[in-house]
Structures are given as C-alpha cells and as structure tokens.
C-alpha cells in the first residue's frame, strides 16, 4: 500500500493555480481551491458551491453513472434521463427483436405505461466526497511490509465505509485513492435499479456514420437516448415493480435553446474512465506495440466475420449489434492512438520528460534517495512482463473470443455454485444473442490466427489435438467441436444437465480447459514484478508532483465524478484546413448513401429537412444544428455527459473525441484535442418533430 506524502499534498493542494481552462479532469471538492477564480474569469456565473455542495442540492445531484461505463443526466422533475444512444445501445438491443427492432426503427413511449423496463440497467447518484487521507495515513504507519499495509488499508477502509453507510440500506461507500496514492476519498453513492427505456431515434440517426465517422469531425450523429429512473413510493431505490413511480430528483438540468457561439464557456460533468497522463516511455511503447497492435489485428479479423453475417441476416444484426459496437469502438480508437503517437512524437516527448525528471532528481541527494530508482523499477517491470503480456493478449483476443467456450464456462460456474435454479436464466440471456453459425466461423478464424501469432512451444494443448486427430485441419476440428458439443443451444444444455451428463467430456469444455491450463503460469509471469512496478510508479508520480509544484495538477481519471471546463472552439487539423465549431442537418443529407447502412437517412428526416420544418430549434440562419465542438478534457466514461453553458444549463451531450488527438488518454493536446457534442436543440428536434414525442418536452424546463 502506498504511503501518504503530506509534503507533496501541501505543495499541490495549497499552491495550485490552474494553467489552462481546457485541460484537466477536476475533483469536485477541490473546485473552490483550484478552479473557482479561473472559472469566474472565463465567464461562468456558476460557483463551486452551485456545482458541488454537501449541504444543499447542486449540479452533481443531476448527474449519474449510467450503467457500467457511461454518464447520464436528469432533465426533469419526473426522473427523465438523457444519455448517448451508444450508451443505451446494449439495453435497446436487449429489448429488440426482429418484430420490434428498436435499434433500426427507433422507439418512443407515448405514456408512462408504454415505457419499457431495461433489465439489469442501473443509474448511480453521487452523495458525497470526504477526504479521509489522515485516517488512511494513520493506519498505514503501523505497517512495515506491503502485505501488512494492504491488510491495514482494507481494515480502515471497511471501518470508514461502515460508519458512512450506517443503517442506510440504500447507499454504499468506497475508499478510493487519487494522485498516485497520495490522497484518499470516501465516496458515497446511491444506486437505482428500476430504469425504463423511454425512447431513442433509429440507428440511422443515433448511430449515423457508424464506424466510418466514429472519432471523426465533421460529425452528424444524433447520439442520444432517453430513459427514466423509477423509485418506490418513498423515492428510494427498489427493484423493478409496476408499483414503482418516477423518481423525484434533488436537482435536474434546465435545457437551453439559446445554442452556442464560438468562445462560449462550457462545463462537462461526468464519470471519465481511465487516463494515464503520468505514463512513462516504456509503458507507452508497451501499449503501442503490444496491447494496441495485437488487439487491432485480432479484433479486425473477428469483426470482419461478424459484420459479414450481420449484413446478411437481420436477426444476427440485432444479436451482434452491441457486441460488434463495443469491440469496434476500442479497435478504431487504438488505431488512431498509434497513428497519433507517431504524428505527435509522443514517445520522444515522454523521453524528454523523463530526462528532465532524472536531471532534477540528480540535483539533490535526498531526491536521489526518494526517486532515483523510480524509472528503473518501471522499465524493468515492463520489460520482464512483455512476453507473458503478449501471449495473454494474443490468447484472449483470439481463442478467448469463441462464445461456445464462454457459455460452457458460465454453465460450469453455475453448476459449481450449487444454485442450479439460476441456470435457465443464464442460458436464456446468452442464447438470445447467440448465432451458432456465426460463432463457428469466428472459431475457425480465431484458431487460425492463434496458430499464426503464437509460436509452437507456447501454444495450448488443444493444438496437439488438431494436429494428431484432425491432421492439422482447423476447420475439421471446429466442425467436430460444434457438431458434438451440447453448448450449441439451450435445449441440449438443459437435457445434458438433467441427464447428469459428464460435461467435462464435452469438446468445448476440453478447449476451455486447455486454454485455462496455460493461464495461471502466464498471469504469474505477468504479475511477478507488479510490486516493483507499483513502487516505481508511486515514486515517479510523487517526484513529478514535487518537481512541478505551483502548477495545477489533476488526478488521473478513475471513473469518479469529475468536472472539466473549456470553451466552444473550432480547430485546424492540418495545413490549410479549418473546421467550423458546428455542423448542420445539411451535412447529413450530403453524406447520405442509400447503398450503405452507415449513411442511410430516414424518409421523415429528409422530409423535415426539405420543408425546412425545424421550428424553434433552428439557427438564426434557418439551418438545423446537429453537433458542435468544445475543448473540454474528456475520455471514455464521459459518453453521455451533459455539456453545460456558463449558467449550468444543458446545451448538449458529449459523445466522442476527435481523430487528431487519439493519444489524449496519455497526453493532452490543447491545439488539437476536441470534444464532440450533440446539440441539445437537435435532441429536442428529433424527439419532437421527428419522433412525435413532444409531450416529453412538457416535463422539462426549457430556457430560451
């Protein structure tokens, strides 16, 4: 467990002054100390107390964690919620069928009774942040070894969490570290589990441009969906029940129709997932040459197989839409990241930073003692784990993507738990979105690429079976497995379980066991220097903070609520090219391609455009706004986050970054980095004029 360095904290908490309004994912409790003055200078009328208050309702009460990896915002007194279309995509897909294809056709509930329960979906509200650094520091002083400190940390965290929760069964508490383990906060949350699907445009609007336009500007995607949070009669979280009622929030966002102009101040609040802006050169090379490169190649092969089947069969399109989208989003991001690493000389810049750090350390004997081995520890650990890491990646991204072994693993876990009553539900959920013919094709492709990527002496034992029993014919091996496995459908699994068949003899289980056999050794090799790496990273971050005292330094994102502020701003991606800060519906029509599903345009939208029937949502020049740019600092997890004007009113939803700054999780690029937002006016236009669900606007507070 990391030590607490009060000297470091003092230097960057008490003497920080924000440098740039457009960089930083700031902790809400520190806004007054770090950012209040700068934000006022930029034109924000909101105060830090308006944004985060422990005594009164504030903006943070209208922002939620949406599902497992996005952000959402409450926009009415009746618990109405906006998020991105791609954030609601998984829930919309689960609710869809060939007969009711809400992904393709869209959906709008015309009353509360028509809203659809989104099974398994949750939204989580932030209750409070409390600095518990002193409590953690006091406990850790008693430990001498890493194991002792880990144990002490667990004990004091549990004590603090229990005290925070008390008898309140509706909240949870977690202790989380920040600033490289130099600061700790106790964070209290409240999670609601009855969330219902209210509406979304068809994918031809909500996913317009799909993979081609993903991470790109100019953008013309209406990336939003609408849900509602429900509670029990006392406004507390409760499982789904017809008796539940719409949640009454502590606060909700007003929606602005005023729009945006270049230079307008903006705030984004949400739950950014992970950044690594203290990444060293060796870590960067590892990400570029191993994790990114391997995933790019192997996911690309699998995605080609999936897309071919998806385009050929509407049912498979629904079954694999969310799976494909989740895979391809990361795949394209990593392609862009590697390109940007090269174009922006990120490796060289990291090397220069390390050289400056080393020079600074070597100027003082005390610094040498504290930080002199930091980079060496990191570099040695990264080098020592490289082979094991590469093999883990190649295995997980190839044969680890065969769904037949995945469902076999799930079934075996359920049976091992002794709670067989869960089995049917697990199988129903899996097979609803499973195509055995598609998986058979994927298995053949993935095993072949595994053989190409992994040298003979490091392959799992199943390869010997292919060679000895099938003459090296991968296709024959896969066909035999699928033809003889019970895991190809629910009925065969249930029959086998009821008949107490030996599932370990199933060919899918044999493949699974072969893969799992090599994993412990690989994981051990990958993690053997984990403690050395953690020590080096802690020392490097602590030293960097000390070296940069007087600067504004924000903690890396870790899926806790943050605020980023900036302005509406265009950019120039390359010589002689200048992008505007907004797009319009004209651009949708210019991109239309009826032969390409990514760029289909609904007839109703074309009719509205042709008639210029935009109502109160149009720009002063009569055009219909779609998306706009800002220089707010965001990353994955911010999808669905509200972008607010200087008064805290909703002007759009953040949904993407731009291609020219794909290295942004590692290094911020102020001249190039932009956040892509869907304009709130386009959201309301689609709900009202296109979807015919204008009644939803009646419960919002719309300001002009």
- Which amino acids are annotated catalytic? 86, 223, 639
The answer to whether the beta carbons of residues 184 and 136 sit under 8 Å apart is yes
- E strand intervals along 548-674: 562-567, 571-574, 577-579, 582-584, 625-630, 642-644, 650-657
DSSP assignment of 147-183 equals HHHHHHHHHHHHHHHHHHHTT-TTEEEEEEEEGGGTE
The answer to whether the beta carbons of residues 256 and 628 sit under 8 Å apart is no
The answer to whether the beta carbons of residues 140 and 153 sit under 8 Å apart is yes
Q: Is 265 helix (H, G, I), strand (E, B) or coil?
A: strand
Per-residue DSSP letter, 279:
-
* Most distant CA pair in the chain, distance: 75
Kindly report the backbone phi and psi dihedral angles of residue 175, in degrees, each rounded to the nearest multiple of 5, phi listed first.
-95, 125
What distances in angstroms separate CA 570 from CA 648, 652, 671, 674, 683, one per listed residue?
22, 16, 10, 8, 21
Asked if the peptide bond before residue 218 counts as cis, ω within 30 degrees of 0, the response is: yes
Place of tokens 């919002």: 700
Distance CA 178, CA 126 (A): 17
Neighbours of 524 (CB within 10 A): 10
Per-residue DSSP letter, 649:
-
The answer to whether the beta carbons of residues 637 and 69 sit under 8 Å apart is yes
Residues 6+ apart with CB under 8 A from 268: 563, 564, 565, 566, 630, 632, 634, 638, 641, 642, 643, 644, 654, 675
The answer to whether the beta carbons of residues 488 and 481 sit under 8 Å apart is no
The answer to whether the beta carbons of residues 309 and 441 sit under 8 Å apart is yes
Q: Is 278 helix (H, G, I), strand (E, B) or coil?
A: coil
Strands 562-567 and 26-27: antiparallel
Distance CA 146, CA 532 (A): 11
In terms of phi and psi (left: phi > 0; alpha: psi -120 to 50; beta: otherwise), the region of 208 is beta
The answer to whether the beta carbons of residues 127 and 171 sit under 8 Å apart is yes
Kindly report the backbone phi and psi dihedral angles of residue 460, in degrees, each rounded to the nearest multiple of 5, phi listed first.
-70, 160
The answer to whether the beta carbons of residues 215 and 336 sit under 8 Å apart is yes
Residue 28's closest CA among 4, 58, 5, 7? 58
Q: Six-digit token pair at 127? A: 């209750």
The answer to whether the beta carbons of residues 457 and 464 sit under 8 Å apart is no
Strands 26-27 and 265-270: unpaired
Buried b (16+ CB within 10 A) or exposed e, 381-419: bbebbbebbbbbbbbebbbbbbbbbbbbbbbbebeeeee
Distance CA 702, CA 91 (A): 28
Q: Six-digit token pair at 300? A: 């690309």
């Amino acid at each position: 467990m990391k030590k607490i360095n009060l000297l470091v904290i003092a230097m960057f908490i008490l003497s920080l002054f924000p440098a740039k309004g457009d960089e930083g994912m700031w902790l809400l409790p520190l806004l007054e100390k770090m950012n209040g003055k700068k934000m006022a200078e930029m034109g924000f009328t909101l105060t830090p107390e308006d944004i985060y208050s422990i005594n009164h309702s504030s903006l943070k009460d209208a922002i939620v964690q949406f599902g497992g990896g996005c952000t959402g915002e409450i926009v009415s007194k009746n618990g109405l919620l906006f998020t991105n279309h791609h954030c609601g995509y998984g829930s919309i897909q689960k609710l869809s069928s060939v007969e009711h294809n809400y992904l393709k056709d869209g959906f709008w509930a015309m009353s509360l009774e028509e809203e659809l329960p989104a099974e398994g979906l949750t939204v989580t509200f932030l209750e409070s942040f409390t600095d518990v650094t002193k409590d953690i520091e006091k406990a850790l002083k008693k430990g001498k070894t890493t194991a002792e400190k880990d144990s002490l940390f667990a004990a004091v965290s549990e004590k603090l969490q229990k005290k925070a929760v008390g008898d309140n069964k509706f909240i949870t508490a977690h202790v989380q570290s920040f600033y490289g383990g130099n600061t700790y906060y106790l964070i209290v949350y409240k999670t609601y589990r009855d969330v219902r699907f209210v509406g979304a445009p068809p994918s031809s609007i909500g996913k317009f441009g799909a993979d081609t336009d993903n991470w790109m500007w100019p953008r013309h995607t209406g990336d939003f969906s609408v849900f509602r949070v429900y509670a029990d009669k006392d406004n507390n979280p409760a499982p789904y029940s017809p008796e539940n009622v719409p949640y009454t929030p502590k606060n909700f966002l007003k929606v602005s129709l005023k729009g945006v102009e270049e230079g307008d101040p903006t705030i984004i609040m949400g739950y950014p997932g992970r950044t690594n802006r203290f990444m060293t050169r060796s870590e960067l090379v590892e990400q570029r040459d191993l994790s990114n490169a391997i995933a790019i190649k192997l996911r690309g092969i699998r995605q080609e197989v999936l897309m071919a089947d998806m385009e050929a069969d509407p049912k498979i399109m629904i079954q694999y839409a969310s799976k494909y989208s989740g895979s391809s989003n990361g795949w394209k991001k990593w392609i862009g990241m590697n390109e940007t690493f090269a174009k922006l000389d990120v490796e060289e810049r990291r090397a220069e930073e390390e050289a400056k750090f080393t020079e600074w350390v070597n100027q003082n004997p005390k610094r040498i003692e504290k930080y002199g081995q930091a980079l060496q520890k990191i570099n040695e650990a990264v080098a020592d784990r490289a082979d094991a890491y590469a093999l883990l990646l190649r295995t997980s991204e190839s044969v680890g993507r065969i769904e037949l072994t995945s469902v076999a693993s799930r079934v075996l876990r359920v049976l091992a738990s002794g709670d067989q009553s869960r089995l049917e539900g697990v199988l129903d959920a899996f097979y609803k979105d499973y195509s055995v013919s598609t998986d058979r094709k994927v298995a053949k492709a993935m095993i072949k690429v595994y053989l190409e990527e992994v040298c003979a002496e490091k392959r799992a034992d199943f390869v010997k079976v292919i060679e000895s029993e099938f003459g090296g014919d991968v296709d024959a091996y896969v066909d035999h497995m699928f033809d003889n496995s019970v895991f190809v459908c629910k009925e065969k699994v249930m029959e086998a379980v009821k008949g107490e068949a030996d599932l370990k003899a199933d060919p899918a289980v044999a493949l699974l066991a072969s893969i799992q056999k090599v994993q412990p050794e690989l994981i051990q090799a990958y993690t053997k220097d984990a403690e050395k790496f953690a020590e080096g990273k802690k020392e490097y971050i602590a030293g960097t903070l000390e070296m940069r005292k007087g600067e504004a330094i924000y903690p890396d994102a870790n899926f806790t609520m943050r605020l980023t502020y900036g302005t509406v701003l265009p950019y120039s991606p390359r010589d002689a090219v200048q992008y505007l800060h907004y797009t319009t519906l004209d651009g949708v029509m210019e991109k239309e391609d009826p032969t390409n599903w990514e760029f289909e345009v609904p007839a109703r939208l074309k009719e509205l455009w042709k008639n210029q029937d935009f109502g109160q949502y149009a720009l002063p020049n009569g055009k219909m706004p779609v998306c706009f740019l800002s220089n707010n600092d965001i990353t994955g997890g911010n999808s669905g986050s509200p972008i607010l004007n200087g008064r805290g009113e909703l002007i759009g939803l953040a949904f993407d970054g731009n291609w020219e700054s794909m290295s942004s999780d590692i290094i911020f690029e102020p001249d190039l980095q932009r956040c892509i937002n869907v304009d709130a006016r386009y959201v309301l236009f689609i709900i009202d004029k296109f979807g015919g669900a204008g009644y939803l606007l009646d419960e919002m507070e719309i300001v002009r």
